[in-house]
Amino acid sequence: MKLLHKKLLGLLSIVLLIPGYKAFSQDAQKGTLSIAIGYYNENNQIPYVKAKVKTKVDGRFKTVAGIPLKLYLNKDSAGNLIAQVVTNDKGEAAAIIPASLKSQWGAGPSHSFVATFDGNKKYDAATGDVTVGKAKIEIDTTSDRKIIATVYEMKDTAWKPVKGVDVIVAIKRMDADLNVNETATFSTDSTGKASADFKRDSLAGDANGNITLVAKVEDNDQFGNLSIQKTVPWGAKFVPVNTFDRRTLFATRDKAPIWLILMATSIIVVVWGILIGLVVNLFKIKKLGQEA
């Protein structure tokens, strides 16, 4: 009996230990997140920051959705909070720099951005940060279809041209940007300018022949992401082909193709003409029978 009690006690201990072990093992399996922050300034308007959250699964990075993040300017204190955000399906979350941080933003030529994650049941707490210098980009065109992009950085309290920045000069299309010529990237000279010749003469534009040029600096260690656009009438005028009012096989009933109407009507008239003739023939047979 004593032995039986011992055995039961042992079994009970194992049963009770299993959930504890499971909970422990879950803690041990918590994932690690990496947070990357990007700074964006488009058309020299209100800048924004975008955080991207990834984790390593089976040796490969995978984006993580639904992660709550706090974004700060310069340091992670309540007064410097940019926004609280949650990552989307692509593992990304973005926020503009709010007006409440205007004084901090204007205080110096460079700033840091900090993203923090407090941790949850699946992932450990994580932080990410990036430091960028204030910069802007401008775009101009000449009559001989040359595009000039100029990059400036804030030094002390004035904008100064920057040399040696890689600038992409392109044309904005529906899915991706198209190079203006055979070169994709241009470097700025000592005046901060990068110039590119436009060599896409027959490119389709909108109804007025307008196309959108874009100059951008991407993932620059010093300035982040800058971009600017300009609309120019350098494209070919797009004349839409509208079949809405034409006679087509897929149009409304009153817009059926003439050939189809003629063909269908003639077949119907011929076949039903024959059939009506045959019905009339029956009446003739009937009449003959009555006469007989």
Partner 1 sequence: MENLQSLESEKIIQDLLPQKFGRKGKIFIGVLLAFCLVGLFAYYRQLRYGLVVTSMRDYVSWGIYISNFVFFVAISLVGSLITAVFRLANVEWSKPLTRIAEIIAVAAIIFASLIIIVDMGSPERFYNLFLYGRIQSPIMWDVIVITTYFFISLLLLYYPLLPDIKILLRFKEKSGKGLHKLYKFLGSYWKESPKQIKLSDKAINILCITIIPVAFSIHTVTSWLFATTYRPGWDSTNFGAYFISGAFLVGAGSVVVAMYIFRKAYNLENYITPKHFEKMGRIVVLLALLYLYFNINEYLVPAFKMKKSEEAHLLGLFTGDYAPLFWFAILTGMIIPIIILLFKKGRKPVPVFVAGIMVVVGAWFKRYLIVTPTMLHPFMPMYNVPESYHHYFPSWEEWAIALGSLAGTMLVITILGRIFPIIPIQETLNEQHETAA
Footprint of partner 1 (CB under 8 A): 248-253, 256-257, 260-261, 264, 268, 271-272, 274-275, 277-279, 281-282, 284-286, 288-290, 292
Q: What 3-state DSSP class applies to 284?
A: helix
Tally of CB atoms within 10 A around 60: 8
State which residue, 86 or 267, has the beta carbon closest to partner 1.
267
CB of 246 to partner 1, least distance (A): 13
CB of 244 to partner 1, least distance (A): 15
CB of 149 to partner 1, least distance (A): 41
Q: What are phi and psi of 145, to 5 degrees?
A: 60, 50
State which residue, 240 or 289, has the beta carbon closest to partner 1.
289
State which residue, 239 or 279, has the beta carbon closest to partner 1.
279
CB of 7 to partner 1, least distance (A): 47
Q: What CA–CA distance (Å, rounded) separates 284 from 288?
A: 6
| Phi-psi label, residue 87: left if phi above 0, alpha if psi -120 to 50, beta otherwise | beta
CB of 266 to partner 1, least distance (A): 12
CB of 260 to partner 1, least distance (A): 6
State which residue, 164 or 257, has the beta carbon closest to partner 1.
257
Q: Convert 265-284 to b/e letters by CB count within 10 Å (16 or more is b).
A: eeeeeeeeeeeeeeeeeeee
Sign of the CA dihedral with 179 first, then 182, 183, and 189 last: negative
Q: Which helix (H) or strand (E) holds 269?
A: helix 258-291
State which residue, 178 or 256, has the beta carbon closest to partner 1.
256
State which residue, 143 or 252, has the beta carbon closest to partner 1.
252
CB of 240 to partner 1, least distance (A): 23
CB of 273 to partner 1, least distance (A): 10
State which residue, 204 or 260, has the beta carbon closest to partner 1.
260
Sign of the CA dihedral with 99 first, then 103, 108, and 111 last: negative
Q: Which helix (H) or strand (E) holds 33?
A: strand 33-42
State which residue, 239 or 278, has the beta carbon closest to partner 1.
278
| N-to-C CA span, the chain | 119
- Give residue 219's identity as a one-letter amino acid code: D
The CA radius of gyration of the chain, in Å to the nearest whole number, is: 36
Sign of the CA dihedral with 16 first, then 17, 18, and 23 last: positive
CB-CB contact of 133 with 153 (8 Å): yes
